[in-house]
């Protein structure tokens, strides 16, 4: 029997659709992980719809939930996973929990998607309050082991702009120096030799050799763009990267190929179903563009590799 691997995931919950914990739980369970979910918000659906309703968990309530686990001595985890957060005090409480969990289990791996903003038409903008940036830089990233920023978030965290692959590699080194041994820039606007239909993603992983020296593996991937606005893709990416880095430690190339290939299959299935539902020439609605997660179970479990990573 494989030893049990347990994840504490603190993310959003939606009644309908797949974002946050709803996008992370099913893939991790399918891949054999026990996942304990704390719902940072409970909304009817994601905020890309015309309407949404629901409740937000505050930092005291988060602490109370964690206290319950602590009192029952069931606060031993192998992984912690976090994504979108809007509140600085909530984020600071997350850091306290990570530190506490690392005391319980020093080999705990914290996977953090530092969701802060993105670029549209080349211009970056933050969609969380700006007071979260110093919390991420000074508190969160230093305790994280794996981070999955997009290009804009990597620039914010490192304080440097990326105009070339060389600059992107330098930014990843800056991020390594802040704490995490694994950095994946999940999307960038760097030009692809294959044309404007492709997105570049980059990864960097530091590992210690037996003699104590540090080796760095760097990879680059080119992914075909899908012409639609999906929600929950970053949450799915971080969850699957957690799973595949666990199954392929010290092999970032394979972990990223499996993660990105599974993403590709889920998105292709989603866009095909959404277009069929919308009808010819009609733009699919947010409800029609919800990730086809359950239908993609086989692809998540054992993805056919359709994206190769180049080792740099």
What residues act catalytically? 235
- In sequence order, which ranges of 42-188 are alpha helices (DSSP H)? 59-71, 88-104, 132-135, 141-143, 151-158, 165-178
100 φ, ψ (degrees, to nearest 5): -60, -45
| φ and ψ at residue 16, rounded to 5 degrees | -115, 130
Helix residue ranges per DSSP H, 139-232: 141-143, 151-158, 165-178
Strands 198-208 and 214-224: antiparallel
- Nearest residue to 312 (alpha-carbon basis) of 179, 162, 201: 201
Q: How far is CA 159 from CA 80, 130, 185, 189, in A?
A: 26, 14, 15, 17
């Amino acid at each position: 029997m494989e030893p049990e691997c347990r994840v504490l995931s603190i993310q959003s919950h939606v009644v309908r659709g797949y974002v946050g914990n709803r996008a992370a739980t099913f893939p991790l369970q399918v891949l054999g992980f026990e996942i304990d979910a704390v719902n940072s918000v409970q909304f009817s659906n994601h905020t890309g719809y015309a309407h949404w309703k629901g409740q937000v968990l505050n930092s005291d309530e988060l602490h109370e939930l964690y206290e319950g686990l602590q009192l029952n001595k069931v606060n031993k985890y192998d992984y912690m996973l976090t994504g979108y957060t809007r509140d600085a005090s909530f984020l600071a409480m997350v850091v306290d929990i990570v530190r506490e969990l690392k005391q319980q289990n020093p080999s705990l791996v914290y996977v953090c998607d530092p969701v802060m903003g993105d670029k549209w038409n080349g211009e970056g903008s933050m969609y969380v309050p700006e007071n979260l940036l110093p919390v991420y830089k000074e508190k969160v990233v230093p305790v994280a082991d794996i981070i999955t920023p997009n290009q804009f978030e990597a620039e914010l965290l490192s304080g440097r702009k990326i105009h070339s692959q060389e600059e992107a590699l330098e930014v990843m080194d800056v991020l390594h120096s802040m704490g995490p041994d694994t950095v994946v820039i999940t999307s960038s606007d760097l030009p692809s030799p294959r044309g404007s239909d492709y997105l570049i993603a980059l990864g960097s992983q530091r590992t210690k050799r037996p003699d104590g020296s540090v080796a760095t593996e760097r990879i680059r991937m080119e992914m075909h763009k899908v012409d639609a606005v999906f929600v929950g893709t970053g949450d799915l990416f971080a969850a699957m990267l957690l799973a595949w880095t666990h199954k392929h430690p010290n092999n970032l190339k394979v972990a990223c190929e499996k993660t990105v290939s599974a993403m590709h299959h889920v998105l292709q299935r989603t866009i095909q179903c959404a277009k069929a539902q919308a009808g010819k020439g009609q733009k699919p609605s947010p409800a029609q563009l919800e990730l086809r997660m359950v239908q993609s179970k086989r692809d998540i479990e054992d993805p056919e590799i359709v994206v190769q990573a180049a080792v740099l």
